[in-house]
């Protein structure tokens, strides 16, 4: 699969709090960061766009347990946990998309509560390649929203990792994405 200028890589929430050692770690997060860093360079070489989403929560975000939400505090604005993983080498020109800044909106999707759709349309993007953390939450919802908006969408299956609150959540999420019309690819199938 050859890349071109109408393609975009969407890197979803590869942040310290979602990687080993963070407040809400996903097993394999370090490997996902490394894989997507290499892919970002391939996309850049071909003139394709790169977008990196970033959870950017206020301290009293509704998704936090203290406010009745399901999660421990994570990706608080300006914190070390909200920073991109050290293995993430984002090329010059990468667009950073912050989401979840409204304390009332959970914003699992990189498209919800952000200007990502507007940026994609303005850039003339037609195909999206999505990887990141976590398969069963933010990646899933980003892919589902992209499909609702009519983008041809590919899940980079070996550049994601799942939380797996229940043992098969990641597999179920991949099936939901396929059911929405998204295709699955591996990093090796994408060629610069």
Domain range list for the chain: 7-189
Does the structure show a pLDDT above 90 at 106? no
For 107-161, the pLDDT digits (tens) are 899 998 899 999 999 999 999 999 999 999 999 999 999 999 999 999 999 999 9
Q: For the chain, how long is the longest CA-to-CA vector?
A: 47
CA distance 176 to 8: 21
Is 13 considered catalytic here?
Answer: yes
The residue written with tokens 């349309």 in the block is: 121
Is 103 considered catalytic here?
Answer: no
How high is the mean pLDDT of the chain?
95
**H or E segment and range at residue 156:** strand 152-161
* Marked catalytic residue, from 7, 19, 99, 145: 99
* Marked catalytic residue, from 7, 75, 138, 145: 138
Sign of CA dihedral 29, 30, 35, 36: positive
DSSP 56-85: -B-TT-TTBGGGT-SB---SBTTSGGGSBP
Three-class secondary structure of residue 146 per DSSP: helix
Q: Is the pTM of this model over 0.75?
A: yes
User: Which of these CATH numbers, 3.90.800.10, 3.40.50.850, 3.40.50.2300, 3.90.550.10, describes 7-189?
Assistant: 3.40.50.850
Beta-bridged to residue 21, according to DSSP, are none
* Marked catalytic residue, from 13, 17, 55, 136: 13
Give the model's pLDDT for residue 192: 63
Is 113 considered catalytic here?
Answer: no
Does the structure show a pLDDT above 90 at 16? yes
For 28-77, the pLDDT digits (tens) are 999 999 999 999 999 999 999 999 999 999 999 999 999 999 999 999 99
């Amino acid at each position: 699969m050859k890349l071109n200028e109408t393609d975009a890589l969407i890197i979803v929430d590869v942040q310290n709090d979602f990687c080993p050692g963070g407040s809400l770690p996903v097993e394999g997060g370090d490997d996902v960061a490394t894989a997507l860093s290499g892919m970002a360079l391939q996309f850049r070489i071909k003139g394709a766009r790169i977008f990196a989403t970033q959870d950017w929560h206020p301290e009293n975000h509704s998704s936090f347990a203290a406010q009745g939400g399901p999660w421990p505090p994570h990706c608080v604005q300006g914190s070390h946990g909200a920073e991109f993983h050290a293995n993430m080498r984002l090329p010059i020109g990468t667009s950073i998309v912050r989401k979840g800044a409204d304390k009332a909106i959970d914003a699992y999707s990189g498209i919800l509560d952000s200007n990502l759709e507007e940026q994609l349309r303005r850039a003339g993007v037609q195909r999206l390649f999505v990887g990141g953390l976590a398969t069963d939450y933010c990646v899933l919802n980003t892919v589902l929203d992209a499909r609702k908006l009519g983008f041809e969408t590919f899940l980079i299956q070996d550049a994601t990792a799942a939380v797996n609150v229940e043992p098969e959540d990641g597999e179920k999420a991949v099936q939901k994405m396929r059911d929405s019309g998204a295709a699955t690819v591996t990093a090796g199938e994408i060629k610069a």
